[in-house]
Structure 1
Amino acid sequence: MNRTRVAITAAGTVAAAVLLSACSGSGSSSATFDPKVTTEVAAATTAVAALTWNLPAGEPTTLDPALSALESNSTVVSNLCEPLQTQTTSGKVQPGLATSIDQTDPTTYVIHLRSDVKFWDGTVMTATDVAYSIQRVLDPKTGSSWSAWAGAGATATATGADEVTVKTNTPNALVHNYFATPAFAVVEKAYADKAGAKFGTAAGGVMCTGPYKLQTWSSGSNIVLVKNEAWWNTSHQPLVDKVTFTFTTDASAQIAALRSGSVDGQFSVPVSGFKSLSSQGTMLFNDSYAMEFLAVINLKGALVDVKTREALQKSVDYAGIAQSIYKGTAEPLRFIVGPATWGYGKEVYQSAYDKLPAAKQDLEAAKSTLKASSYSGQTVTIAYAVGNDEETKMATVIADSANSIGLKISLKPLQPADYVALYSSPDARKGIDAFVTAGYLDFPEPVEYLQYWTAGSYYNFAEYANAKYDAAIQAALAQFDDTKRAQDATEAQAIIAADYVNVPLVSQYVNVYYSKKLAGLVPAPSYLYTPWLTSLGGK
């Protein structure tokens, strides 16, 4: 899902990057660092009375799962409010509050619920609560970005004591993935109705079924969760009794707190802390569904000619970005959705991916391509957010290389609030040809992201229009056969890649650090939607 990630800094400003991209530090060491991708770790075995965990993007704006499309929100909410199904660290979907979900026809899903689930207040979860929670996300008054899963519309109805039926207005092969996201997180109807607009706030709280429950939320200070002793999942009980979440956004302060031991762990550790923290505790990396790219948002200005855009891409120093800026914790991308997002049809995706231009700088080819274009010296304005150190460095690297081939690049640093406005205001985008941004898939399904460039999509800022591309995406959305959907998706991929609507850059690994006393947690994209705290404990 394309979302803006927002952080409130100590100075009260807003720092942003698109979606749930990893938080970056200020400054990065030039010392050698050799990261390893980790998919398995030894399980935690002992109980931990309490720990402190930092949220690098700042204090959550809400703990309402329907409004959890921000990194800080999701990192906490994933341990409080459960969706119908869960994601494993490899992206596979497993039963959760629903024991099974049957698709009885292309637009109908029958959800079979567990009968032994209770909310924290002891109230039994019912089909009415589940149907209410789904409809609440779909209700425009809620303002949930998760409503996008329904596309042309959907309904949820309690059709039995432990059964809910969901009907969509059109077939959509992606729907089953959303059952393991906050789009289908369950809240207690009576509690949410009573809380009204305060639901999810420090004053109103939340009422869910997860392995942890909210104890306190001291605005501006911390959020404290405690173990839910009555959690239904008796086979995977939490080992940590109490967790205090802090909101430090300054990179140097984050690293200092982790090194001192005053904070026990954090996702999205700043690049500048990788080496020192690796020698002190457990610093882990894994593939992610994230991508950094240069989004072209003006196809009528200086970048009107596809050859000009192609020259810009050929000029990018991919190796420099991956190694010098990200210290080897990012993979260069040939396309905006890379190999880690291929949850099916891997051979089809790989074959198509290999045919795309290599993610490798070729300045001579870039100069030749630019010479063959209609470009005549117009200024190309590229924006970036000053609050993100790595993206600032990438913007500089991109500009330097592009200028060296004959393009005239003007960098436009945007204060965080102005950067955020790019996603909601056409006026804010005026005078900008492209901007450095990041994206994130909620699950390993490329079509989820590729649909954003179809005609009429909210995120199609450049108003890219290609009827063949739209047709391929619509075919993929309606195709329930994985191999055929991969074929439709790669057809769309080839079309938009040839039009150079975006300049793919790198995919940064998801990372996590925790102190030596802890064990059990694997860094994985699923931490945003799955109760990751249940894996953490003592050695």
Structure 2
Amino acid sequence: MRSTRALCTLVAGGVAMLLAACSMGTHGSQAGLDAGALRITTTPATSFVDKVTWNVFEGEPQTVDPYHSADYTPNMINSNMCENLLAQTPDFGIKPNLATAYHNPDPLHWVYDLRDDVTFWDGSPMTAEDVAFSLRENLTDKTSFYNYLYLNVKSVDVTGPHQVTVTLRSPDYLFNSELADYAGVVVEKKFFLEHAKSFGSPSTGVMCTGPFEFEKWAQGQSITLVRNPHYWNASLRPKVGTLVFTFLTDNSAITAGLLSGEIDGTYGVPTSGYTQLRNSPVGTLTVGPAPLNITIVYANPKGPMSNLQLRRALQLAIDWKGVGNRIYAGLASPLTMQTPPAAYGFAAKQLDALAASLPAPRSADYAAARKIVQSVPADVRSRPITMVVPDTSDTQQLGLAVKDAAGRIGLDFRLKVVPTTGYSNYLYDPQTRAGVDILYTQFWPNVADPMDWLGITAVTGGTFNQYGYDGIDAVYAKAVGTKDPAVRARLVAQMERTLHEQLLPMVPGVGLVNTVWMNKRITGAPASFDYVYYPWAAHLGGAK
């Protein structure tokens, strides 16, 4: 469950061991909507507003330390304060940011030329030493959520007044793209060292270069940011004076807050209030593309679902189309492959072609599924199958849909619902999930690069590879070290085909779109799923 993603990289060493050895197209329709209905952004803001209140739909974060932020809640806030060397744009491209340019003079070196006009909020200039220190923190701090992306890094060195060079142990053509997430975050060295134990806490906050500055954190209530009037990027200087983040998690309360004007906006519009909010004259609801797969993950290589025929049968029997329509208000639809189109990145041409060549996703084909089940030896098909889901409304409904499908085709299926606060233990602790066959997840990648997606979900050591699947390890290692993007893309397509055929460890579920709702007095927020590493609130402002 990507909403508990904050623990994932703590156990991701295996994928990094392998590392050591785009523009966004619509790629057809998504989530049952015509592709033309998905918008990258909203109407640009034209005026300044004093204050905007924005809700963080999964509640209060534990920290705003970017090194320990890898989830919707902290990232939605942090992305407006702390910047990266590279930036992920709302159309899912990657471009220079705090680095003006990057070079790969040989397979083992990435050289970053830095801006010379950037200051931290306290007025101190951003130096090459600040940048090198920031990257080294990810390299040396084993508790950083981005440390696993550095296990192939030998050193980070200042190589000029405004230049930093990363030296690798072996060629790695994913690493550079990852500097558009918090693997490439830049903080002020002096401030960090002075507040090392409290960095990111309510009492201390952070010291970064972004368009909004940390002002205060009223625990249990809100986090307040204020406009950075000296922000280096003139095109993104905020049109909002004060940005207040609230922490409502109850869907009814969020909907009521939006309709009453108490809250000005939110991402992740509650599906239970979708129709009401879409039709309200108070605000505007916009739908955009997102690299999100809501699906199931096989977690037990010794259980009955290690049988490929049972996996094929269950995939046919699950009413994926109904899941998208009923549970997610028509905002999700069946995926052909486990990686959704918005994450195709540099391999879009090859993956579009592969997707077009594969059979269309099937839903609720009980007759075909029962026939497959009957072909499986009785001592295998009669074994009980256990699935665990967190106790939110939509995840429980998804679990019940899988249970219904399994029952219809003669499988002994047990659904276990656990508190959301403890669900992450099933994802990251092998002892907790011992004997569990299936887990729920809502997954999104660090960057819109299929190599990132595959590395986390389907390679040995990947944190969403609870099954321990190793079927694409060799090809993945080859792809990471391949410079030619066309050749690398063909290897990606080869891996995607293998995963599609084996239905491991993650299956094609439903691709979910991104939603954003804003009171009509404001506008400008990107509609695409880009708020986790990009300063999206810098686009906010008055609608008149």
Amino acid at match of 1:159: T
Alignment match, 2:28:
none
Amino acid at match of 1:72: T
Alignment match, 1:443:
447
Alignment match, 1:54:
55
Structure 1 residue 357 displacement after superposition: 4.2
Alignment match, 2:248:
248
Alignment match, 2:109:
108
Equivalent of residue 464 in structure 1, options 469, 478, 485 = 469
Alignment match, 2:530:
526
Aligned partners of 1:34, 1:171: CA distance in 2, in Å? 40
Structure 1 residue 398 displacement after superposition: 1.3
Structure 1 residue 153 displacement after superposition: 3.0
Amino acid at match of 2:507: V
Structure 1 residue 6 displacement after superposition: 7.0
Is the contact made by 1:43 and 1:519 (CA closer than 8 Å) also made in structure 2? yes
Structure 1 residue 406 displacement after superposition: 1.1
Structure 1 residue 235 displacement after superposition: 2.9
1:175 aligns with 2:180: no
Distance 1:220 1:411, change over 3 A: same
Alignment match, 1:326:
328
* Cα deviation 1:260-310 (Å, max 9, x = unaligned): 100101111110111111122111111111111110001211213111111
Alignment match, 1:299:
301
Q: Give 3-state SS (helix, strand or coil) of 1:56's partner.
A: coil
1:499 aligns with 2:496: no
Listed as ranges, the matches of 1:129-148 within 5 Å are: 129-141=130-142, 143-148=143-148
Equivalent of residue 288 in structure 2, options 286, 289, 297 = 286
Is the contact made by 1:3 and 1:69 (CA closer than 8 Å) also made in structure 2? no
1:369 aligns with 2:389: no
Q: Give 3-state SS (helix, strand or coil) of 2:290's partner.
A: coil
Normalised to the residue count of structure 2, the TM-score between the two structures is 0.90
1:478 aligns with 2:485: no
* Cα deviation 1:395-417 (Å, max 9, x = unaligned): 11111012101111110111123
Is the contact made by 1:34 and 1:328 (CA closer than 8 Å) also made in structure 2? no
Is the contact made by 2:370 and 2:410 (CA closer than 8 Å) also made in structure 1? yes
Alignment match, 2:460:
455
Aligned partners of 2:468, 2:41: CA distance in 1, in Å? 43
Segments of structure 1 that go 5 or more residues without pairing to the other structure are: 8-31
Identity over aligned pairs, percent: 32
Q: Give 3-state SS (helix, strand or coil) of 1:427's partner.
A: coil
* Cα deviation 1:406-438 (Å, max 9, x = unaligned): 111110111123311012211110121111111
1:407 aligns with 2:442: no
Structure 1 residue 3 displacement after superposition: 7.4
Aligned partners of 2:357, 2:268: CA distance in 1, in Å? 32
Alignment match, 1:21:
none
Structure 1 residue 245 displacement after superposition: 0.8
Aligned partners of 1:174, 1:472: CA distance in 2, in Å? 14
Is the contact made by 1:289 and 1:442 (CA closer than 8 Å) also made in structure 2? no
Is the contact made by 2:100 and 2:114 (CA closer than 8 Å) also made in structure 1? yes
1:157 aligns with 2:139: no
Structure 1 residue 484 displacement after superposition: 1.2
Q: Give 3-state SS (helix, strand or coil) of 1:288's partner.
A: strand
Structure 1 residue 33 displacement after superposition: 11
Q: Give 3-state SS (helix, strand or coil) of 1:345's partner.
A: helix
Listed as ranges, the matches of 1:10-159 within 5 Å are: 36-141=37-142, 143-159=143-159
Aligned partners of 1:376, 1:122: CA distance in 2, in Å? 66
Amino acid at match of 1:480: K
State the aligned residue count. 511
Alignment RMSD, CA only?
Answer: 2.0
Structure 1 residue 151 displacement after superposition: 3.8
Aligned partners of 2:529, 2:498: CA distance in 1, in Å? 28
* Cα deviation 1:338-363 (Å, max 9, x = unaligned): 22211123231122223444321222
Is the contact made by 2:111 and 2:166 (CA closer than 8 Å) also made in structure 1? yes
* Cα deviation 1:145-164 (Å, max 9, x = unaligned): 11222243342111111111
Is the contact made by 2:42 and 2:286 (CA closer than 8 Å) also made in structure 1? no
Segments of structure 2 that go 5 or more residues without pairing to the other structure are: 8-31
Equivalent of residue 379 in structure 1, options 380, 384, 405 = 384
Q: Which runs of 4+ in 1 moved over 6 A?
A: 32-35
Amino acid at match of 2:253: A
Alignment match, 2:235:
235
Aligned partners of 2:348, 2:49: CA distance in 1, in Å? 40
Aligned partners of 2:104, 2:150: CA distance in 1, in Å? 15
